[in-house]
């Protein structure tokens, strides 16, 4: 029975989550383009919002980039450039720990603002409240994995998750078996991360796909006002 649920959660659910993420985002953008935004409440308790938002976004973006590079870079590349599994483990703990602390401090400020400021609470939807709480829990789980990782400084535990993630993207039917004996904290962290993918198209998180990168190379323009002489 345990093997069945492990396969269901870590062998099948990842494909469900990725499919919902991709198709749901496309459908929402096509059918509800005017809801494709973060729903800012920046006029309310602005200073706390700025601090919380900056810390949260820097932390989360750093964590996301670290997960993508750390999990999806083939193991042979790390071996080729001479980075041992133990060294990679320590880098992940150090950089991930700093980013995680920044992220959870920012998320805590945002949660406090959203739930304890009456005006912000009235302007918030159920989805807004739910997703920030889920993200806070996910960050807390990520930080909790550091204590476990410190007990496996040889890096072999991390190799299991690399093999699992790369197995999912290469459609390896044995991918789920790589994390079968992983700590429950890691499993909860992975499962909640996949659930965030499922919720992504239906929440304010979609604004992550609309980063205005094009403004970096868009040519500048100048607005010129002219005075028109009134008709005589």
Radius of gyration (C-alpha) of the chain in whole angstroms: 22
Out of 66-70, 86-90, 138-142, 214-218, least confident range: 214-218
Confidence of residue 119 (pLDDT cuts 50, 70, 90): confident
pLDDT tens, position by position, 77-100: 998 998 898 999 999 999 999 999
Q: How many other β-carbons are positioned within 10 Å of the β-carbon of residue 199?
A: 17
Using CA atoms, how far residue 50 sits from 63, 99, 154, 207, in Å, is: 20, 17, 39, 17
Can you give the pLDDT at residue 5? 92
pLDDT tens, position by position, 172-197: 999 999 999 999 999 999 999 999 99
- Give the up-direction half-sphere exposure of residue 59: CA atoms within 13 A in the CB hemisphere: 26
Can you give the pLDDT at residue 43? 47
pLDDT for 28 beyond 70: yes
pLDDT for 151 beyond 50: yes
Do the Cβ atoms of 192 and 200 come closer than 8 Å?
no
């Amino acid at each position: 029975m345990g093997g069945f649920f492990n396969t269901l959660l870590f062998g099948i659910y990842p494909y469900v989550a990725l499919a919902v993420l991709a198709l749901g985002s496309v459908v929402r953008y096509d059918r509800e383009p005017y809801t494709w935004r973060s729903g800012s409440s920046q006029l309310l308790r602005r200073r706390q919002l700025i601090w919380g938002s900056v810390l949260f976004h820097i932390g989360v973006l750093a964590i996301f980039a670290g997960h993508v590079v750390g999990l999806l870079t083939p193991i042979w590349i790390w071996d080729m450039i001479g980075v041992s599994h133990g060294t990679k483990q320590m880098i992940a703990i150090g950089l991930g720990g700093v980013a995680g602390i920044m992220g959870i401090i920012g998320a805590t400020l945002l949660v406090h603002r959203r739930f304890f400021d009456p005006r912000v609470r009235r302007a918030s939807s159920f989805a807004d409240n739910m997703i920030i709480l889920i993200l806070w829990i996910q960050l807390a789980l990520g930080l909790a994995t550091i204590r476990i990782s410190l007990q496996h400084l040889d890096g072999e535990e991390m190799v299991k998750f690399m093999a699992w993630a790369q197995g999912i993207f290469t459609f390896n039917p044995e991918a789920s078996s790589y994390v079968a004996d992983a700590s429950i904290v890691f499993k909860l962290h992975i499962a909640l991360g996949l659930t965030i993918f499922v919720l992504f198209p239906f929440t304010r998180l979609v604004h992550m796909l609309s980063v205005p990168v094009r403004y970096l190379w868009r040519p500048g323009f100048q607005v010129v006002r002219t005075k028109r002489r009134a008709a005589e």
